[in-house]
């Protein structure tokens, strides 16, 4: 690890990625802009962790989005000495573990975040889950008691998946009995969630993604035309359903929360 007194600092913004440019522009791009504005003297580099999405976007749009390892190599070539790694991941799951592994492979080439202090824990979104609850409750303060807000999280086989059920409970513990959270690929499932929503007896369901971007899952699994989409499952149950295709990264409060995380590791 370099110990130069004068360092050349860069921010490495790491996202899962998306092939939907419309949502990327107002989520990932917006978060990266907020990070850059918060640290104007630092260069900003982008890396995505989904190699499948990288391959698709690179071929379709004729661009080159880097993996974490490629970005670390590029920064090394560019003379960067201090790297502030800031993921836009929601939970500390598989993608975040892989990101940390790839970044730490370069621990002898850079000062990485707060590694010099004997730890390396780049903050994911739910590092401050109570703050996330506050931000989203404020964003949806227009809800009335006859409406239920249903968030769709991604879900994972990683043990960190338990945070989704905990967060669903926390929304209610914080005084929001009409806010629910389930996942598209794990537990709580739509079937588990629907039983809880039915018990609340709302007149209308508002669907929103609990993901940084409003991509495939939001457009298809949540709000799509397929009979198994969350939209159609609630419609079939007799509810009025209103989908909101707005990723978490589009909310200004969420962008500012990532900036707070960055400032923590910058110190």
Tally the C-alpha atoms within 13 A of residue 28's C-alpha that lie toward its C-beta: 25
CA distance 264 to 85: 11
Q: Which of 16, 105, 104 is nearest to 65 (CA)?
A: 16
**DSSP conformation letters of 57-118:** HHHHHT--PBPHHHHHHHHHHTT--EEEEEE--SSSSHHHHHHHHHHHTTTTTSEETTGGGT
pLDDT digits (tens, 9 = 90+) for 129-176: 999 999 999 999 999 999 999 999 999 999 999 999 999 999 999 999
154 is catalytic: yes
Selecting among 20, 89, 154, 217, the annotated active-site residue is: 154
**pTM (2 d.p.):** 0.92
Question: Torsion over CA of 105, 109, 115 and 116, rounded to 10 degrees?
Answer: 150
- Note the pLDDT of residue 127: 87
CA distance 142 to 193: 22
The segments of the chain whose pLDDT lies below 70 read: 1-6, 113-122, 266-267
- Note the pLDDT of residue 266: 67
- Note the pLDDT of residue 1: 41
CA distance 82 to 243: 42
- Note the pLDDT of residue 123: 78
- Note the pLDDT of residue 119: 47
């Amino acid at each position: 690890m370099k110990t130069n007194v004068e360092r050349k600092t860069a921010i490495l913004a790491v996202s899962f990625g998306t092939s939907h440019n419309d949502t990327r522009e107002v989520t990932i791009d917006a978060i990266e802009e907020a990070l850059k504005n918060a640290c104007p003297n630092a260069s900003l580099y982008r890396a995505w962790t989904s190699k499948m999405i990288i391959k698709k976007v690179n071929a379709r749009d004729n661009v080159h989005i880097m993996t974490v390892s490629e970005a670390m190599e590029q920064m090394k070539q560019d003379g960067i000495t201090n790297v502030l790694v800031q993921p836009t991941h929601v939970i500390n799951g598989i993608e975040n573990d892989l990101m940390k592994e790839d970044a730490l492979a370069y621990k002898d080439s850079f000062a990485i975040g707060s590694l010099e202090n004997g730890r390396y824990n780049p903050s994911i979104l739910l590092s401050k889950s109570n703050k996330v609850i506050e931000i989203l409750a404020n964003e949806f303060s227009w809800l009335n008691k006859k409406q239920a807000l249903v968030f769709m999280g991604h879900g994972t086989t990683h043990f960190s998946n338990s945070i989704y059920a905990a967060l669903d409970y926390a929304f209610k513990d914080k005084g929001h009995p009409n806010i629910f959270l389930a996942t598209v690929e794990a537990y709580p499932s739509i079937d588990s969630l629907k039983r809880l929503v039915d018990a609340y007896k709302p007149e209308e369901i508002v669907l929103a993604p609990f993901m940084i971007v409003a991509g495939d899952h939001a457009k298809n699994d949540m709000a799509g035309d397929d009979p198994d989409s969350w939209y159609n499952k609630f419609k079939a149950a007799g509810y009025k359903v209103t989908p909101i295709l707005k990723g978490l990264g589009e909310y200004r409060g969420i962008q500012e929360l990532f900036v707070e995380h960055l400032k923590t590791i910058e110190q």
